[in-house]
Structure 1
Amino acid sequence: MTVMGIIGCRIFEDEIVHVLSNDLEVERIYLVKNEENIGLLNKLEAQGLEPVVLPVYEIRACLEQSEEFSVIVQLQEIGLHMNPSRLRSKTYTNLSLMSGFADGILLFYGLCGHAFSRMQTDFAHTGCSLQLLQDRSTGEPARPLEDCIAAALGGSSRYREILKSHSDTLFLTPMWALNWKNAFGVDDELLPGFEFTPENLKELGYRKVARVDTGLSYEPDFEKKIEEFALNFGFEVIEFEGSTEIAQQSYSLMQNMLLRPHLKPENILFKKSLKSFST
């Protein structure tokens, strides 16, 4: 039995659907039964998958009777990144539960205010491999991404380069566009004293909204939501080509580390690139 866990922000819902629906090796997908996983469940089922939805303790009982390669997913609420200490507390609670029966856990998060800076040390006693989304775009040693927009744009270095000439731009992926109020902490005590209005955003220097197209189409209203946002705030709409490469690479590396620990990361990525080229 090999068990891979995923704990992530709902912002990465589409990327998780993508990697799971394209994984030919996963034999069983479990979703922890909670409100945050409802959208993920609907999208996975729309792709023809049949996830098993159970409370954590029932998932553990099922795994004890199984020899399959299984993936367990626990998504967390959008907006936790606005409060790193709350994000760390919530994630640590779920890590404590999942690390008891998972061989490795991939966190669909970036650095997020360094909320996870001590994660490896704090969970070293569990023997469970833990990994944040990894940025390998520069050819240098892998390092955690800055945030979810960096993941969508293909890496932190490309994100920083884009920001040099687009510092007046808010970047929205499909899940950001549909959930921007929660993602930005609007109507929440996380932004005390700040009203999310066109006037205040323009005072901060924002003039544009970028539609980051990752090539995923699980949210058909993406373009409509971007237009609504732009109209509401009086912003110009621009577009950037994104990708799912970092999500896919990070998932593949964790999966192969669990199923094929003898392979080096660079060999895993090389084989994957050959496969993509041949198809």
Structure 2
Amino acid sequence: MPLLTILSCKILQDEIVHILENDSSVDEILVVGNGQEDDFVFKLRKSGIDFRIISPAKIRSDTESYRNNPEQYTVMIYMVELALHEFPKILKAEIYKLLDELSTCSNAILMFYGLCGNVFDKIESDYAHLEGTCPVRILRDETRTVDDCVGATLGGCQEYLATLKKFSEHGTFLFTPMFAHAWREIMRVDPEKPEKTIKMLRKVNEVTGYKRVAKVRTGLTYTENFDEKVDEFAEIFDFEVLEVEGGQSLFEKCYSDIKDEVLVKSH
């Protein structure tokens, strides 16, 4: 049975915990200890999920026995730094580098990413040469790759567009629990001088017309204090707070599809 690697933005760690917690067929979980896994590991432990940390320098040697074990289905998780989203070219280069490396020790790779500003619009075609050995997949709905993590949580591109149209009167931030947890990191708020960054963000919001923040209900509770963190953000920027329903169906389907694909190939 295969080794499936999930290469993920840290913002989607809750969705991975949910998948692992609800898949009893996983024999072993490996988490790459690259310095980005702390929150994820905490949630795995809290959920009672067993796993093993492996060194990024020894991925190939540490996974060899799993990849070639016909009796065991293994999932390896590699979390990627959030701050790279600020630099699309660097993000693309880093992800492509990781795909080149991880494809040598995986039977398949599922990217927990969307287009991310069209950075990954050609990812599957660029790695089409690996179809026979390590297919690479990305989050997609029935027709195309989703735009980003929020679009995936809302269920796909049509649902995302409908939500954006619904909120088009004023600019609206869409916060999932992890986005709410990490908004300071995502918006690069200086921890030493937060007020300076927040003052600049207020001006940007005024210029761009952002006046609201919406809580995207994912159905997951792994990240604590979601409501409090969104309310804090709203208070800082004097925003109205709204709510929108999301879910896990798209993540579950993408995972199930690639899992079924590699399980069939392994027999």
TM range (shorter): 0.7 to 0.9
Instruction: Specify the alignment match of 1:181 in structure 2.
Output: 184
Which of 140, 160, 172 aligns to 1:134? It is 140
How many residues end up aligned between the 2 structures?
A: 253
Is structure 2 residue 74 aligned with structure 1 residue 73?
no
The 5 Å alignment of 1:1-16 reads 1-16=1-16
User: How much has 1:179 moved relative to structure 2?
Assistant: 0.7
Contact 2:124 2:138 in 1 (8 A): no
Is structure 2 residue 154 aligned with structure 1 residue 153?
yes
Change (3 A) 1:57 1:197: closer
RMSD: 2.1
User: How much has 1:155 moved relative to structure 2?
Assistant: 1.3
Counterpart-to-counterpart distance in 2, 1:223 and 1:74 = 28
Instruction: Specify the alignment match of 2:215 in structure 1.
Output: 211
For residues 178-231 of structure 1, give each alpha carbon's deviation from its aligned partner in whole angstroms, at most 9, with x where no partner exists: 11122234449xxxx996432430321111100001010011211110010000
Q: In the alignment, residue 222 of structure 1 is paired with which amino acid?
A: F
Contact 1:84 1:114 in 2 (8 A): no
Counterpart-to-counterpart distance in 1, 2:129 and 2:161 = 36
Counterpart-to-counterpart distance in 1, 2:96 and 2:203 = 38
Q: In the alignment, residue 162 of structure 1 is paired with which amino acid?
A: T
Q: In the alignment, residue 205 of structure 1 is paired with which amino acid?
A: G
Which of 239, 242, 248 aligns to 1:244? It is 248
Query: Which structure 1 residue ranges, 5 or more long, are not aligned?
Result: 137-141, 263-279
Instruction: Specify the alignment match of 1:92 in structure 2.
Output: 96
User: What is the TM-score of this pair, normalised by structure 2?
Assistant: 0.88
User: What is the TM-score of this pair, normalised by structure 1?
Assistant: 0.84
- Identical residues among aligned pairs (%): 35
Change (3 A) 1:251 1:234: same
The 5 Å alignment of 1:105-124 reads 105-124=109-128
Q: In the alignment, residue 145 of structure 2 is paired with which amino acid?
A: P
User: How much has 1:165 moved relative to structure 2?
Assistant: 2.7
Contact 2:173 2:210 in 1 (8 A): yes
Counterpart-to-counterpart distance in 1, 2:80 and 2:207 = 32
Instruction: Specify the alignment match of 1:26 in structure 2.
Output: 26
